[in-house]
Chains A and B, each alone.
Chain A
């Protein structure tokens, strides 16, 4: 057991966790039909929709932000 072993092990687990977060975020987007990465903020109808169904959008973004936090390990 040495420093290199621990470093590579943590990095490996983080890389796999990153992939899982990416899949989870994409799955939320697919299940709720959120479309691409762009937020619907171009018209009043889209803003109203975003205000009404914000939870899946927030859930997806939290998965993506966690992904970026752990990705650099």
Chain B
């Protein structure tokens, strides 16, 4: 929302913040599902019979496939679309440093698009692990955006 505040003169920024927030909402549901799944496995699996364990293996596998699709949608919307649009608007309006816009675009491509496509569509864990390194770019993006927003706040006084 802070980035939207900085870039609100551009109509693209509105689409960016919508994609960003919807993606994050899907992501929160996904993370909650992971926590629920782990809690369920911890409480049920150790005391389950052999037959029950077979059913659990199927059920947890199915749940996790759903979680992976939620993760894909979440990353695609928040980082792949929202982050990409914020970077483009930041580049055009000069609200963000140019190098940060490039980092944002690279993060959008690697984690927003490639990671999810490899993990869900191609089902290739090795390729997904490779693109998972792109999350480092997301950390750099978040940290620097925080500093940019704080310095903008100082200028707004």
- A residues sitting closer than 8 Å to B (CB atoms) are 1-2, 4-19, 22-23, 26, 36-39, 41-44, 47-48, 50-51, 54, 57-58, 61-62, 64-65, 68-69, 71-73
Q: Is the interface of B mostly helix, strand, loop or mixed?
A: helix
The interface of chain B, by Cβ under 8 A from chain A, is 1-3, 5-6, 20-21, 24, 27-28, 31-32, 34-35, 37-39, 41-42, 45-46, 53, 56-57, 60-61, 63-64, 67-68, 71, 78, 119, 125, 128-129, 132, 135, 138-139, 142-143, 145-150, 152-153, 156-157
Give the distance in Å from the alpha carbon of A71 to the alpha carbon of B146 in the complex.
Answer: 10
Q: In the complex, which residues of chain B have a beta carbon less than 8 angstroms from the beta carbon of A9?
A: 149-150, 153
Report the bound CA distance from A18 to B71 in whole Å: 18
Contact call B146/A12, Cβ cutoff below 8 A: yes
User: When the two chains form their complex, are residues A15 and B28 in contact, meaning their CB atoms are under 8 A apart?
Assistant: no
User: Judging by beta carbons under 8 Å apart, are A4 and B146 in contact?
Assistant: no
Q: Which residues of B contact A43 (CB under 8 A)?
A: 57
Contacting pair B143 A16 (CB below 8 A): yes
Q: List 24 A–B pairs whose Cβ atoms lie within 8 Å, in order of A's numbering.
A: A2-B156, A2-B157, A4-B153, A5-B157, A6-B153, A11-B1, A12-B147, A15-B2, A15-B145, A16-B147, A18-B146, A19-B143, A36-B129, A37-B119, A42-B61, A43-B57, A47-B45, A51-B41, A54-B41, A61-B31, A61-B35, A62-B35, A68-B24, A72-B1
